Structures are given as structure tokens and as C-alpha cells.
Amino acid sequence: MDALDILTNLDNVIPYFQPIFSADEHKVIGYEILGRYNNESEIISLGPFFHDHQIPEEYKLEVDNTVLTKALEKAISLDQDVLLFVNRDAELLMHDNGEHFLQLLLEYQQKGIALERIVIEISDRNYEGRPDHLEHLLNYYKTFGLKIAIDKIGNDSSHLDRIGQLSPDILKVDLGALRSINTGPSYQAILYSLSLLARKIGAMLHFENIETAYQLQFAWKNGGRYFQGFYLHKPYGEFISRELLKEWLGKEFHQFISYEKKKLEALFNISEEFQEKVQNLLNKFKKYEDYTELLHSFAKHLDGIAFRMYVCDEDGFQKSPNIFKKDKNWILQNEYLKKNWSWRPYFLENIIRMRNEKKGILSDLYSDIETGETIRTFSFPLNNKDFLFIDLSYNYLYEHEGLL
């Protein structure tokens, strides 16, 4: 639609509300406020209007504030713990240093909407002002109790600086690219890393654009507390019952829990099998002159399972060459002797675990730096100072249920 048609018919500008569901209570905990236009024949999204760079900021602000005012008026009737997620473009927000926006919220605070219930989803992709000015404004908002969400994480990789500067309450992750199980493992690994980041900084993880059961399961598995998307509920002009999906979500999450428990049980059993296998091999090859001879002996029995083996001491220095499977043959890679791997995540932690528990550890899935393949490593204590590392091939993982 033409921008002037919208501006001269603000009565037809209306808010829509997309419900947001929680992992802990399985009910609606909030709504994202979205702008719509009712042209009598259909309801049209105002997204194109707000993203049109040719429309003056003053026009966008007027429409934005109209949507928000009507939304807050309706929200007065909501329970006092329901959150309201408000999208704000940084460029528009800084147009008047965010003053009108704050005054509007303070006005409705007097009508019963506590500022602690407002979550500002900030987007600064088109922001051309000074980053420290925006940071100062958002931190000022936080002194009033407003919550800050970094929006659209997962669409690009320019968020780490903002996360560090703003210490957001919520990280909102877009799952739009994760529409099928065929999405690359690197993308999934990045999203998993965001769950670790959220935990470290004390932020809640909010997954949006959930359109399939697979995406919902992924969001649940990776630490999501809030869920939103067409698979759960489309935006609507009215508020829905908070308990609408409670029973259904409970059943869905129960299936996720059952699947995850079975997978963890399978991993435990496989780890125990490797523990026994390696221990039996060590008992069989008690007499060896050096670790190279031991690795050659192991290679004969782990062919088709492992593709690389080596021994490190407790500080991470390699005490053997690599023995590496290449073109159906095991070769020695002497250049790895005396290299140090203590810089790798969890390396020293796992060394201490193996020493104290006196048993091996099966790693999580990760991409091998050299081959690029998805692998796991089984680590085993040879004694109190030296530790055996066995890299399991992707083909072996693929052929065994529960390893991928």
C-alpha cells in the first residue's frame, strides 16, 4: 500500500499479537506486538512499510506509536505477569533519543502495565549513529526495569559485540534457516554455542520462526526457554488462552525427553563398551617398547572404528606420533610428536576426570580440524600421567545408532 494511505487512515492500523510459550510452564508467557493494516478486504502486514527506506522516519514513528498505543490499551486486561515484546528499530528509536517511546510506556505504567513486563527487541542493522549513544539509551531504559532482547540472532554473525556491550536479558534466535534436518552441522553448532553463551551471561534464550516439529525439538534441546512461531500459533488480533497448548506442549516435550534419555543411555552404553574394549587390548598388549608399538597393535584391532590415535601426557604434550588411517593404510605422523593440546576446550578438565575416575570419556560431536568430518573422541587413562586418544571415524558413528 501507499504510505500516505496508511498515514491518512490510522484507524485502520491495528496491532496483532503472536503468543510466546515457555518451556517451564508450557503456557503463554508473552506476546510479540506486530503491526497490521485492515483494508476491509484483508489484513496486511506493515513490515514492508517499516522496511521501506524511502518512507520518512516521521511517518514510520507515527505508525509505530499508533500500533504500540493500541496494543498497550488492549494489554491492560492481561495478567500482570504477561510480557510484551516490542520491536524497535534503532534508527527510529534514536530519532528523538527515545524520549517519546519512554513517555508512552510511563503513561501506561500508570494504567497498570509495569515496565518490567516490557521487552524491547532492538534491531540496529540500519543504524548509522554512534553505537555508544544507543548503548547508553538502552542501559538507561534498563534502570526503569525494561528488558532488552537482541533480535534476529542466527541470521548473521554481527551480534557478539552488541551482546557484550548491552548484557541483554534475552537472546532471540531466528530458526528460519533450520527448516529441515538437512541443515549443515556447522549452522547447528553455532546455534548450540549460543545456548552456552546465554547460560554464561545469564540471558534467556528465545527461539522464533518455529515452523516444524523438528525446529521445536531443536529449540528445546538447545536450552530454549521461550518459543514462538507458526507451528505453535500464528499472530492474531486478540489474546488467546494462556493454557491453550499446555497439554499438547507437555506431550511434545515428554517425547523429546524420552528420545534424549534413550540417546544418552545409548551413549553411556557405547562408552562402557569402549572402556572394556580398550582395557582388554591393554591387557593383551602389556609388553611394548614404546607408545608407537602400542598404537600399531591397537590399529589392527580398531580398524574400521578409529582413524587416528595418539598419546598425550597430563599437560597436553603429545608423547607419541599420530597413527593415522589414510587410503586403507595406517601411517605414522611424526610431526605431531611433542605438540601441545592443552588449549583445546575441556582438555585439562577431562584429564582430571579420567585420572580421578580411572575410566575413559566419550566426547560430544565436533568437527575435526584436519578432515572436516564430524567425529567423537574416546579418551582413556593409560596411567596417572599418560592418556590415550582414539578419534572415531564418521562412518563408524553413522553406522551405530545414537552416536550421531
Tell me which of 191 and 239 has the higher pLDDT: 239
| Strand 361-362 versus strand 329-333 pairing type | unpaired
pLDDT above 60 for 141:
yes
CATH topology (fold) of 3-231: TIM Barrel (3.20.20)
Partners of 15 in beta bridges: 35
C-alpha 361 chain-centroid distance: 25
pTM: 0.87
The pLDDT-based confidence of 157 (bands split at 50, 70, 90) is very low
Cα separation, 145 vs 361, in Å, equals: 45
Q: What is the pLDDT of residue 132?
A: 81
Q: What is the pLDDT of residue 372?
A: 85
Q: Classify residue 370 as exposed, middle or buried by CB count within 10 Å of its CB (0-12, 13-18, 19+).
A: exposed
Q: Please, what is the average pLDDT of the chain?
A: 91
Q: What is the pLDDT of residue 151?
A: 79
Q: 235, 380, 397, 243: which is closest to 298 by C-alpha?
A: 380
Cα separation, 103 vs 119, in Å, equals: 16
| Average pLDDT, integer, range 319-335 | 95
Cβ-contact 7, 62 below 8 angstroms: yes
pLDDT above 50 for 296:
yes
Residues of the chain with CATH 3.20.20.450: 3-231
Q: What is the pLDDT of residue 196?
A: 85
The pLDDT-based confidence of 154 (bands split at 50, 70, 90) is low
pLDDT in tens, 226-246: 999 999 999 999 999 999 999
| HSE-up (13 A, CA, CB side) for residue 17 | 24
Least confident segment among 105-119, 241-255, 363-377: 363-377
Q: 10, 42, 21: which is closest to 253 by C-alpha?
A: 21
Least confident segment among 153-157, 229-233, 327-331: 153-157
Cα separation, 180 vs 131, in Å, equals: 36
| Average pLDDT, integer, range 284-306 | 92
pLDDT above 80 for 169:
yes
Cβ-contact 32, 18 below 8 angstroms: yes
pLDDT above 90 for 224:
yes
Q: What is the pLDDT of residue 134?
A: 86
Q: What is the pLDDT of residue 145?
A: 96
| Average pLDDT, integer, range 266-272 | 92
Q: What is the pLDDT of residue 160?
A: 66
| Average pLDDT, integer, range 347-364 | 95
pLDDT above 80 for 186:
no
Radius of gyration of the chain (CA): 27
pLDDT above 90 for 159:
no
What percent of the chain is predicted at pLDDT more than 90?
Answer: 70
Homologous superfamily in CATH for domain 260-399: PAS domain (3.30.450.20)
pLDDT above 90 for 102:
yes
The pLDDT-based confidence of 158 (bands split at 50, 70, 90) is low
| Average pLDDT, integer, range 265-270 | 91
Cβ-contact 377, 363 below 8 angstroms: yes
Which helix or strand (DSSP H or E) is residue 35 part of?
A: strand 28-38
Total Cβ atoms within 10 A of residue 329: 8
Least confident segment among 208-217, 310-319, 394-403: 394-403
Cα separation, 269 vs 393, in Å, equals: 18
Residue 347, SS3 per DSSP: helix
pLDDT above 70 for 338:
yes
| Average pLDDT, integer, range 293-315 | 95
Residues of the chain with CATH 3.30.450.20: 260-399
